[in-house]
């Protein structure tokens, strides 16, 4: 008997609402993680570029550890082991919030920030060294020179790899369903379990992920072409 495709069933009514709810959760966890990973990655990159040995060693260890361990393992690590790693007051606060969502954000943030730190460091290396030296000669501290002179130029250089990292984060967010976060993939799995129309559910979900990625890519590209170009003149 031929399989009867029924996309209407998975995009309308209650199941359609599930997909919308999952989409909102995916957008929220991705947006929060992107912002935090960019901030943390920048901080780690600056530490790696400093002359303070302990900071260099700590940042190098951070990037190598999180870049070379699977994200899924890290998600389970934070979900099952955060109580032993994080301070007690942080754990108490997390349990009062959405614990699964928070663990997903932490895992996605630390994992992606390690890659972003390396991208930023590569961008800084592309800037002539005499600019840092000139900034220091003008009386700026190392941190001030990085913030006001070097990093703005480096970010213009690394826009394409940053887009790739953001898109990877959005796609990697589907793994948080393994700890019970009701994201888009989780909802698609629930629809499949209730309707036995797994092909339709995951086809729609795939298209939704594709649309998110295209919008993010277009948005960041537009920003780099207009805003950053204006600042360079």
CA distance 72 to 67: 12
In tens, the pLDDT along 107-119 reads: 999 999 999 999 9
Tell me the CB-side half-sphere exposure of residue 203, using CA atoms within 13 A.
11
Query: Does residue 69 fall inside a structural domain?
Result: yes
CA distance 130 to 113: 28
- Predicted confidence at residue 8, as pLDDT, reads 82
Query: Does residue 206 fall inside a structural domain?
Result: yes
Supply φ then ψ for residue 72, to 5 degrees.
-60, -40
- Predicted confidence at residue 38, as pLDDT, reads 95
Domain of 72, CATH number, reads: 1.10.3720.10
- Predicted confidence at residue 198, as pLDDT, reads 85
CA distance 53 to 138: 25
Query: Does residue 87 fall inside a structural domain?
Result: yes
Query: Does residue 129 fall inside a structural domain?
Result: yes
Domain residue limits at 188: 7-232
CA distance 34 to 172: 12
Q: Which sign, positive or negative, has the C-alpha torsion 18, 19, 24, 30?
A: positive
Query: Does residue 200 fall inside a structural domain?
Result: yes
List CB contacts of 177: < 8 A, sequence separation 6 or more: 183, 185, 186, 189
CA distance 115 to 111: 7
Query: Does residue 92 fall inside a structural domain?
Result: yes
Query: Does residue 1 fall inside a structural domain?
Result: no
- Predicted confidence at residue 230, as pLDDT, reads 54
- Predicted confidence at residue 148, as pLDDT, reads 82
Query: Does residue 2 fall inside a structural domain?
Result: no
- Predicted confidence at residue 229, as pLDDT, reads 58
In tens, the pLDDT along 21-64 reads: 999 999 999 999 999 999 999 999 989 988 889 999 999 999 99
- Predicted confidence at residue 204, as pLDDT, reads 93
- Number of domains observed in the structure of the chain: 1
The segments of the chain whose pLDDT lies below 70 read 1-3, 227-233
- Predicted confidence at residue 228, as pLDDT, reads 56
Residue by residue, DSSP assigns 82-122 as HHHHS-HHHHHHHHHS-HHHHHHHHHHHHHHHHHHHHHHHH
């Amino acid at each position: 008997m031929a399989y009867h495709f029924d996309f209407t069933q998975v995009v309308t009514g209650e199941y359609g609402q599930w997909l919308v709810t999952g989409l909102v959760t995916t957008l929220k966890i991705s947006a929060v993680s992107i912002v935090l990973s960019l901030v943390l990655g920048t901080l780690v990159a600056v530490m790696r570029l400093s002359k303070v040995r302990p900071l260099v060693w700590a940042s190098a260890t951070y990037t190598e550890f999180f870049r070379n361990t699977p994200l899924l393992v890290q998600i389970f690590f934070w979900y099952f082991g955060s109580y032993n790693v994080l301070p007690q007051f942080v754990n108490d606060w997390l349990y009062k919030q959405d614990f699964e969502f928070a663990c997903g954000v932490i895992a996605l943030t630390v994992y992606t920030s390690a890659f972003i730190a390396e991208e930023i460091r590569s961008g800084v290396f592309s800037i002539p060294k005499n600019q840092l030296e000139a900034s220091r000669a003008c009386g700026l501290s190392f941190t001030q020179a990085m913030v006001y002179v070097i990093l703005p130029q480096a970010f213009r250089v690394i826009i394409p790899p940053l887009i790739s990292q953001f898109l990877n984060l959005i796609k990697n967010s589907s793994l948080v369903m393994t700890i019970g976060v009701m994201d888009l993939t989780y909802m698609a799995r629930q629809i499949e379990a209730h309707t036995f129309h797994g092909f339709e559910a995951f086809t729609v979900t795939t298209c939704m992920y594709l649309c998110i990625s295209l919008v993010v890519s277009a948005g960041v590209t537009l920003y780099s072409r207009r805003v950053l170009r204006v600042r360079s003149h």
